[in-house]
Amino acid sequence: MRELTNTDLVALAGAGDADAWREIVRRHLSLLWSVARSLRLGEADAADVVQTTWLALAENLTRIREPAKLSAWLITTTRHEAIRTLKLRGWETPVDLTGSRADQPAPEDVVLAGDRATRLWLAYAGLTDRCRQLLRFVAYAPDLSYDQLARAMGMPVNSLGSTRSRCLTALRRRVGAEVAT
């Protein structure tokens, strides 16, 4: 299954192939979790949103017009459902003034095995919201096109390349700074 394209997998799953479905889930679950969590949903709501996306996909396998754009469809569906859930709960996306976030623990509360992982985490946690969101998507789905990434981020595609480079540079610089301190 791992060598098949998303188009192949959608066709097979649409015909009832459960293995193809499991492969679609394996490829995208961490990414969709990231999309929901990056919009500041707590764990329970994020899990509801991602589950809802899978339920929607299962019933739309034969209706998706461009199966090659499966990743984009999943990202867009998850993002829309997450935003609607925030509104349903009466929340707007909060501004990160206090450093208290629903989608990740405080940097100092995280214990990771190994200095390297700890340095990387501290460097990542110190980035801007936008850089953290973008790099999280890129880390889980390095093959996403800029167009797909822009959908996931809810930002214009034309500034994505420069933002991506800037965020990676900032992460590298911060990892270096963590080594130096």
Site residues, other proteins (CB under 8 A): 13, 18, 21-22, 25, 29-30, 33-34, 37, 43, 45, 47-52, 54-63, 81, 84-85, 87-88, 103-105, 110, 112-113, 116-117, 120-121, 124, 135-136, 138-140, 142, 168, 171-172, 175
As measured in angstroms, the least distance from the Cβ of 17 to other proteins is 9
Of the pair 76, 104, the CB lying nearest other proteins is at 104
Burial 41-68 (b: 16+ CB within 10 A, else e): beeebbebbbebbbeebeeebeebeebe
As measured in angstroms, the least distance from the Cβ of 96 to other proteins is 16
Q: Which residues contact 45 (CB under 8 A, 6 or more apart)?
A: 36, 82, 85, 89
Of the pair 112, 177, the CB lying nearest other proteins is at 112
As measured in angstroms, the least distance from the Cβ of 155 to other proteins is 19
Closest-CA residue to 38 (of 1, 78, 6): 78
CA atoms within 13 A on the CB side of 169: 6
Let me know: does 144 contact 152? Beta carbons within 8 Å.
Answer: yes
Of the pair 72, 81, the CB lying nearest other proteins is at 81
Let me know: does 57 contact 10? Beta carbons within 8 Å.
Answer: no
CA of residue 116 relative to chain centroid, distance: 23
Of the pair 157, 168, the CB lying nearest other proteins is at 168
As measured in angstroms, the least distance from the Cβ of 49 to other proteins is 6
What is the torsional sign of CA 135, 175, 41, 29? Answer: positive
Of the pair 1, 120, the CB lying nearest other proteins is at 120
As measured in angstroms, the least distance from the Cβ of 20 to other proteins is 9
